[in-house]
């Protein structure tokens, strides 16, 4: 197994590209894939300020590192979700990355990390919110994260909010949306969404890299990351879709990329057009009376966003540790 570029011994094979790489050329390959994606989808312009949401996992830490290597002006945002030890450990990996990778970078150490903690700043955590509202944990988690990401990007005046969703994530979400024919989601699954209605521009620059590649990137760069799955992920459909696609990819390398990029090339626009013609259209957005975020929801005629409704109910409830939530949900 020799590197496709320099013929030195290879350290990784990428079957869908029928290529092997040495460590150095693999790191360059990852950066080139990200640079190509940003350009192809017009994700960021020179001089833009980026905010990357970092979870402590391999994808978002690799992404932060790659964006800095590519010369972008990018800060990090970590949200402590209060999912027991899992969140504490994830936060430690983010902190370690900052102290071992960012601070020694000299002139580039101007990059900052914002840490938002749900329990100390909003008086709730994800397990308590799931319990208090009867929502699935991932739904309470996703709602909280989306709101805080948007708010941080707006308040920090960032041009783009970037996340570490990779090819496996996006192909699995697409697979789920197709299985259920979720036309409204299929109309919004491009890796870049323009800023609109007070929401920031959002981009997923890792969609050309698989999770095996982002893991290898971190190992070769010496970036330590959270390897555990979220304890509330068990039974999550997304994981089932990932397994189904992994089996298809194993039998036919390149299938996942063909599925996702084929959708972007040939189908995304059709779903966008059919959604534009929806008879009810999108409801007008108002400012949430409590936090000012754009919202279509209301409580007794007062505009009130889903985050404020969720966080208020959860903050009024007795804290529920993740272990207790798990026994209650069994």
The residue (of 53 and 232) whose beta carbon lies closer to ligand FES is 232
Smallest gap from Cβ 286 to Zn ion, in A, equals 11
Is 25 or 202 the residue whose CB approaches ligand AMP more closely?
A: 202
**Residue among 77 and 288 whose Cβ is closer to ligand AMP:** 77
**Would you state the structure tokens that stand for residue 116, as one six-digit string?**
């938002």
Work out what residue 43 binds among Zn ion, ligand FES, ligand AMP, none; the CB cut-off runs from 5 to 8 Å by kind. Answer: none
Give the angle subtended at the CA of 239 by the CAs of 128 and 166, to the nearest 5°.
Answer: 100
Tell me: does residue 54 bind ligand AMP (CB under 6 A): yes
Phi-psi region of 319 (alpha: psi -120 to 50; beta: other; left: phi over 0): beta
Q: Which residues pair with 219 in a beta bridge?
A: none
163 contact, one of ligand AMP, Zn ion, ligand FES, none, CB 5-8 Å limit per kind: ligand AMP
Considering only 3, 27, 53, 216, the residue that binds ligand AMP (CB under 6 A) is: 53
Select from 20, 111, 144, 163 the one that contacts ligand AMP (CB under 6 A): 163
Q: Which is nearer to ligand AMP, 164 or 191 (CB)?
A: 164
Binding partner at 22 among ligand FES, ligand AMP, Zn ion, none, C-beta below 5 to 8 Å by kind: Zn ion
Stretch that binds ligand AMP, among 34-42, 53-61, 180-188, 247-255 (CB under 6 A): 53-61
**Residue (of 305, 259, 329, 327) closest to 143 by Cα position:** 305
In 73-225, DSSP assigns E strands to: 73-80, 113-117, 160-162, 192-193, 201-203
CA distance 171 to 148: 25
Judge whether 146 and 131 are in contact, CB under 8 Å: no
Bridge partners of 287, per DSSP, are: 294
Q: Per rule CB under 6 A, is residue 233 in the interface with ligand FES?
A: yes
Closest CB 91 distance from ligand FES, rounded Å: 14
3 binds, among Zn ion, ligand FES, ligand AMP, none (CB under 5 to 8 A by kind): Zn ion
Residue (137 or 303) nearer to ligand AMP, CB: 137
| Sequential DSSP letters for 236-277 | -HHHHHHHHHHHHHHHSTTHHHHHHHHIIIIIHHHHHHHHHT
Q: Which does 145 bind (CB under 5 to 8 A by kind): ligand AMP, ligand FES, Zn ion, none?
A: ligand AMP
> Does 230 participate in binding ligand FES (rule CB under 6 A)?
yes
Kindly state the smallest distance separating residue 130's Cβ from ligand AMP, in Å: 15
232 is a site residue for ligand FES (CB under 6 A): yes
Within 10 Å of residue 120's Cβ, how many Cβ atoms? 10
CB of 18 to Zn ion, least distance (A): 16
Per the structure block, which two tokens stand in for 180?
A: 């259920």
Rounded to 5, what percent of the chain is helix, strand, coil? 55, 15, 35
Chain centre to alpha carbon of residue 22? 28
Among residues 82, 127, 164, 191, which is the contact residue for ligand AMP, using CB under 6 A? 164
Positions 105 through 164 that interact with ligand FES (CB under 6 A): 126, 137-138, 141
* Local structure of 201: helix, strand or coil: strand
Closest residue by Cα to residue 79 from 144, 133, 140: 144
Footprint on this chain of ligand AMP (rule: CB under 6 A): 53-55, 59-60, 77-79, 81, 145, 163-165, 169
Footprint on this chain of ligand FES (rule: CB under 6 A): 126, 137-138, 141, 230, 232-233, 236
């Amino acid at each position: 197994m020799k590197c496709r570029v320099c013929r030195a011994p290879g350290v990784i094979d990428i079957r869908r590209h029928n290529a092997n790489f040495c460590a150095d050329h693999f790191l360059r390959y990852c950066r080139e894939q990200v640079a190509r994606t940003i350009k192809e989808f017009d994700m960021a312009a020179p001089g833009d300020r980026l905010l990357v949401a970092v979870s402590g996992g391999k994808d978002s830490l690799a992404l932060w590192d790659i964006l800095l290597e590519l010369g972008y002006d990018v800060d990090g945002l970590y949200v402590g979700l209060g999912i027991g030890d899992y969140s504490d450990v994830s936060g430690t990996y983010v902190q370690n990355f900052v102290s071992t990778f960012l601070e020694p970078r000299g002139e580039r150490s101007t990059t900052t990390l914002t840490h938002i903690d749900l329990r100390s700043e909003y008086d709730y955590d994800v397990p308590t919110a799931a319990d208090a509202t009867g929502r699935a944990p991932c739904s309470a988690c996703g709602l909280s994260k989306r709101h805080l990401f948007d708010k941080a990007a707006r308040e920090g005046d960032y041009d783009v909010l970037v996340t570490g969703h990779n090819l496996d994530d996006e192909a699995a979400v697409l697979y789920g949306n197709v299985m259920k024919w979720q036309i409204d989601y299929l109309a919004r699954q491009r890796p870049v969404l323009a800023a609109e209605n007070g929401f920031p521009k959002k981009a997923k620059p890792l969609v050309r890299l698989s999770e095996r590649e982002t893991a290898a990137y971190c190992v070769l760069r010496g970036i330590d990351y959270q390897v555990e799955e979220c304890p509330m992920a068990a039974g999550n459909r997304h994981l089932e879709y990932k397994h189904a696609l992994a089996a298809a990819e194993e039998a036919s390398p390149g299938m996942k990329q063909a599925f996702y990029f084929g959708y972007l090339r040939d189908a995304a626009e059709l779903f966008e057009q059919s959604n534009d013609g929806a008879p009810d259209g999108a409801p007008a957005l108002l400012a949430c009376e409590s936090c000012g975020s754009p919202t279509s929801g209301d409580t007794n005629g007062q505009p009130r966003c889903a985050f404020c409704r969720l966080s208020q109910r959860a903050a009024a409830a007795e804290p529920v540790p993740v272990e207790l939530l798990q026994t209650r949900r069994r």
